[in-house]
Amino acid sequence: MAGTQRYLRYIVFALICLVLLFFISSSSSGSTVSWPAGYNGNEAVSTPEAIKTGSLEQLQSSPSTTPNDNKQLPPATVPGDRMNATFVTLARNSDVWEIAKSIRNVEDRFNRKFNYDWVFLNDDDFNDEFKSVTTALVSGKTRYGKIPKEHWSFPEFIDQDRAAKVRDEMKEKKIIYGDSISYRHMCRYESGFFFRHELMLEYEWYWRVEPSIELYCDIDYDTFKFMAENKKKYSFVLSLYEYVETIPTLWNAVKNFTKAYPEHVTEGNMMKFLSDDNGDSYNHCHFWSNFEIGNLNWLRSQAYIDYFESLDHAGGFFYERWGDAPVHSIAASLMLKKEEIHFFNDIAYYHVPFTHCPTGEKYRLDHKCHCNPKDNFDWNGYSCTARYYEVNGMEKPAGYEKEQ
Ligand SMILES: Nc1nc2c(ncn2[C@@H]2O[C@H](COP(=O)(O)OP(=O)(O)OP(=O)(O)O)[C@@H](O)[C@H]2O)c(=O)[nH]1
Ligand SMILES: *[C@@H]1O[C@H](CO)[C@@H](O)[C@H](O)[C@H]1NC(C)=O
Ligand SMILES: *[C@@H]1O[C@H](CO)[C@@H](O)[C@H](O)[C@H]1NC(C)=O
Ligand SMILES: [Mg+2]
């Protein structure tokens, strides 16, 4: 008797197990959740039914309280020619996750439609993780370049002791990056060398991207083509006043340059953006260079090279802490015609701590922007963008007063 009872109990237990197994297996195929891969064997995360059955349109056309006929996604790749252009990023291996965020932003808002190349430059070798993560994210071709030693070291005319003393003093004064050697090499490299890296020689246009930036609006047209068709050579989204302690003699060095090379100063330039007294002194306005779309052949021109060499020999990259932003901005404002510098009001952008959020609600809604217009820096007193409008005789966008 006891043997039969135990036998029956086994059968009931086995039946319960079978029923349970049936439920688990049938429900998991229709469920949106399952164990993460590697947690319980190597099961892959299952896919929502609508995607598996190909009814993605149903998901997209689900009822909405504000009807909108214009909800189709733009094509993944916009037809037509591409420009001779590339993204360019200077980065360390340790920047990988911060640059990954930037790439994802740029791809989602722009490059998934255009698939431009992306050049990464580093004073060290990029490791496999950096290369595989960035290559997976970029829709165009990715290329990795090592910076030659002579572009990332102290030139022989620099007095090392004097430079070291300055770093100590700046540290004492708590000037941001004031005691950093690598930051100075970075600023000098971005000022005078990135456009001559052998990988960059293959392109005419560049768009500079730094780690941890954000783009907040869809960009539906080819910004490089825009630059070419409108005869633009340099562009910006944010402008501000430079920290004076980092550039005390920069303007004197610029004046020495313009005296030695008057032929490089272009007529119809934007000197008024830089100076309120016709060039006597610098007002410290500059375009923020962590975003740039520009023409590489201009940076490779004799005029720009003479300018960079002249500043480099003045020593301020090491005896002070000259940034590439004022260096590029002064060059653009003196050596280009003012019409050749473009303000990309439509590119909504963030680099800590400033935001450019386009003024004008219609534009923001039409381009699916997700920035808060209250964060827009343009009409703030520390921005130089109002001055840019004034010196170019441009009318400020409607509603700008409300953002001051
Ligand atoms: N390879 C390499 N890249 C660097 C080095 N220092 C800075 N960079 C890169 O140069 C660019 C500017 O450096 P950041 O540290 O962003 O300088 P910043 O924008 O003035 O300051 P943050 O507010 O910290 O962003 C970024 O793309 C960095 O990844 C370095 O020593 N080596
Ligand atoms: C792209 O521009 C570079 C620099 O001007 C030039 O050397 C190269 O030949 C161009 N490539 C194409 C495909 O036009
Ligand atoms: C500019 O030139 C003068 C005269 O040669 C020189 O004394 C001065 O140090 C130079 N200034 C800078 C910042 O290079
Ligand atoms: Mg940065």
Distance between CA 292 and CA 283 in Å, rounded?
21
Neighbouring residues of the ion ligand 4, judged by CB less than 5 Å? 210, 290
Region label for 212, one of left (φ > 0), alpha (ψ between -120 and 50) or beta (otherwise): left
pTM score of the predicted model: 0.85
pLDDT score for 66: 52
Q: Which one, of 78, 74, 134, 138, lies nearest residue 106 by Cα?
A: 138
Residue whose entry in the numeric block shows the structure tokens 């993605």? 56
Region 196-215 average pLDDT: 98
Residue 50: pLDDT band with limits 50, 70, 90:
very low
Query: Hey, which of 252, 255, 282 would you mutate to test ligand 3's pocket, going by the most ligand atoms within 8 Å of its Cβ?
Result: 252
Contact indicator for 340, 295 with CB cutoff of 8 Å: no
Residue 215 Cα to ligand 4 midpoint, Å, equals: 14
Q: Which residue has the higher pLDDT, 122 or 9?
A: 122
pLDDT tens-digit profile of 120-154?
999 999 999 999 999 999 999 999 999 999 999 99
- Residue 278 has phi, psi (to 5 degrees) of 60, 30
The percent of residues above 70 in pLDDT, for the chain, comes to 81
pLDDT tens string 271-306: 999 999 999 999 999 999 999 999 999 999 999 999
Positions annotated as catalytic residues are 292
Give the CATH superfamily of 85-402: Spore Coat Polysaccharide Biosynthesis Protein SpsA; Chain A (3.90.550.10)
Domain positions in the chain are 85-402
Report whether pLDDT(19) > 90.
no
Q: How far is the CA of 210 from the centre of ligand 4 (A)?
A: 5
Closest to 187 measured CA to CA, from 316, 7, 358: 316
231: which residues sit within 8 A by CB, 6+ positions away? Answer: 339, 340
- Residue 12, CB-side half-sphere exposure with 13 Å CA sphere: 6
**Confidence (pLDDT) at 77:** 87
Could you tell me which residues come within 8 angstroms of residue 390 by beta carbon, excluding any fewer than 6 positions away?
none
Q: 163: which residues sit within 8 A by CB, 6+ positions away? A: 154, 318, 319
Please name which ligand lies nearest the alpha carbon of 254. Answer: 3
Write out residues with Cβ below 6 Å of ligand 1.
89-92, 95, 122-123, 182, 186, 210-211, 290, 352
DSSP line for 222-290: -HHHHHHHTT--EEES-EEE--GGG-TTHHHHHHHHHHH-GGGSPTT--HHHH-SSTTSS---EEE-TT
Q: How many Cα atoms within 13 Å fall on the side-chain side of residue 104?
A: 8
Helix, strand, coil percentages (3-state) for the chain, rounded to 5, are 45, 10, 45
pLDDT at 401: 79
**Predicted pLDDT of residue 68:** 54
pLDDT of residue 10: 57
pLDDT digits 0-9 by tens, 342-400: 999 999 999 999 999 999 999 999 999 999 999 999 999 999 999 999 999 999 988 88
